[in-house]
Structure 1
Amino acid sequence: MDQPSLTGHLLVATPLLDDPNFRRAVVFMIDDHDAEGALGVVVNRPLELPVSEVLEDWGDYASDPAVMFAGGPVGTGAGLALAVPEAAEAPLGWRPLENVDADSGVSGMGTVDLDAPAEILGTALGRLRVFAGYAGWGEGQLSAEIEEGAWYVLPATVEDVFCADPDALWAGVLRRQGGDLALVSTFPDDPTLN
């Protein structure tokens, strides 16, 4: 049986996931989970490094907080950017995410070519977030982690990716699901102190 595409969804770390790279992480899936693996970015790990200090021309276009985000442990020396254009017409240098349903909460989001002229492309973007590195999984690895109970697979919204308060995102995403997941959102950071 084929697993549905995870592109455009969130992977929210369960309290059981204790890998320091992903503890209480919210990962936005960029590339389809398929035989070649999967790719996403952690959207709730802001760094104390302004975008303008790394990519001078893009700093003025970055969404608040206008800092680099630690996208994951892979390729940390490279930048990856997600954006939503201002207008319906796609600007040059922006590519929509593939395999995202038209009625998804993230339709209209895509990746940005950071080598494109910022003064032209940046003005066409309504929202922009820049990540250092990404989260990647090899063939079958992510499926196994989901089956083991390391991740909740949840619908995403544009507001999740461009959240102005990323430190509250993990609990906020779980809380809005209601039921048992809303209860999980109150799980203490260190249960031994409870």
Structure 2
Amino acid sequence: MGGMAEAIYVGRLLVATPLLEDPNFRRSVVLILEHDEDGGTLGVILNRPSEIAVHQVLPSWDALVTGPSVLFQGGPVQTDSALALAAVMSGDEPLGWRRLQGKTSTRLGTVDLDAPPEILAGEITQMRIFAGYAGWAAGQLESEIREGAWYVVDSEPGDTFNSDPENLWRAVLRRQRNELAFVSTFPDDPTLN
């Protein structure tokens, strides 16, 4: 399993293995937003839609959000704060939007929710708002990967704004070209296997 740890970088996905029982992360798919050997890792869970409609909390952004237009549970840290991801049309960096670090080619970035939505309305092609995020101290995620809690895989453009988030875990695993494709068929209770 050597060589897995350095495969963590911004824009990749962490997919919970069936062994990961922590209710915060069970069957989750996490997009890595920041990774620093010394500073740790930050990401958001992509497949946890909440019951809270965006228009209830951030009405001015509702029109720009990609369905389902609810807040997503980004992770267990700072659940009372919102973080937004958006894809933009051009290679430019519009005001109020910041490209994911270290990814010059990506059109994915974070949105400043204090900015007026009008200035971004013409630029944003897709957007999702997350309550909270997932965070790991330096070295913590690497040791969880070694313990078998996470698979690290490449993301595809459709993952972040997937319209069927409940099936994202299986979909991401199913497209892998190795034994991970079989994991997607695991029953919800692994003891039944």
Calculate the TM-score normalised by the size of structure 2.
0.93
The aligned counterpart of 2:90 is 87
SS of the counterpart of 2:158? helix
Measure, in 1, the Cα distance between the counterparts of 2:119 and 2:104. Answer: 28
The aligned counterpart of 1:153 is 152
Contact 2:14 2:152 in 1 (8 A): yes
Q: Within 5 Å, which residues of 2 pair with 1:103-118?
A: 107-118=106-117
Measure, in 1, the Cα distance between the counterparts of 2:12 and 2:174. Answer: 16
CA deviations on 1:57-82 (whole Å, 9 max, x unpaired) are 00110001111000000000000011
Contact 2:99 2:109 in 1 (8 A): yes
Q: Within 5 Å, which residues of 2 pair with 1:129-144?
A: 129-144=128-143
Following superposition, the deviation at residue 149 of structure 1 comes to 0.9
The aligned counterpart of 1:43 is 46
The aligned counterpart of 1:128 is 127
Q: Identity of aligned pairs, percent?
A: 53
Contact 1:5 1:99 in 2 (8 A): no
* Unmatched runs of 5 consecutive residues or more in structure 1: none
The aligned counterpart of 1:97 is 100
Q: Which amino acid aligns with 2:40?
A: G
Q: Which amino acid aligns with 1:160?
A: D
Measure, in 2, the Cα distance between the counterparts of 1:90 and 1:179. Answer: 37
The aligned counterpart of 2:183 is 184
Give the counterpart of 1:17 among 20, 24, 48. Answer: 20
Contact 2:18 2:190 in 1 (8 A): no
Measure, in 1, the Cα distance between the counterparts of 2:190 and 2:146. Answer: 23
Q: Which amino acid aligns with 1:119?
A: E
Q: Which amino acid aligns with 2:71?
A: M
Contact 1:70 1:133 in 2 (8 A): yes
The aligned counterpart of 1:62 is 65
Tell whether 2:25 aligns with 1:26. no
Q: How many residues are treated as equivalent by the alignment?
A: 190
Contact 1:7 1:33 in 2 (8 A): no
* Unmatched runs of 5 consecutive residues or more in structure 2: none
CA deviations on 1:127-166 (whole Å, 9 max, x unpaired) are 1010000000011110100111100000012210100000
Following superposition, the deviation at residue 51 of structure 1 comes to 0.9
Tell whether 2:70 aligns with 1:71. no
Measure, in 2, the Cα distance between the counterparts of 1:54 and 1:159. Answer: 25
Tell whether 2:6 aligns with 1:3. yes
Q: Which amino acid aligns with 1:118?
A: P
Measure, in 2, the Cα distance between the counterparts of 1:156 and 1:171. Answer: 14
Contact 1:61 1:123 in 2 (8 A): no
Measure, in 2, the Cα distance between the counterparts of 1:53 and 1:39. Answer: 26
Q: Which amino acid aligns with 1:188?
A: P
Q: Which amino acid aligns with 2:170?
A: A
CA deviations on 1:44-63 (whole Å, 9 max, x unpaired) are 00011111111010011000
Following superposition, the deviation at residue 100 of structure 1 comes to 2.6
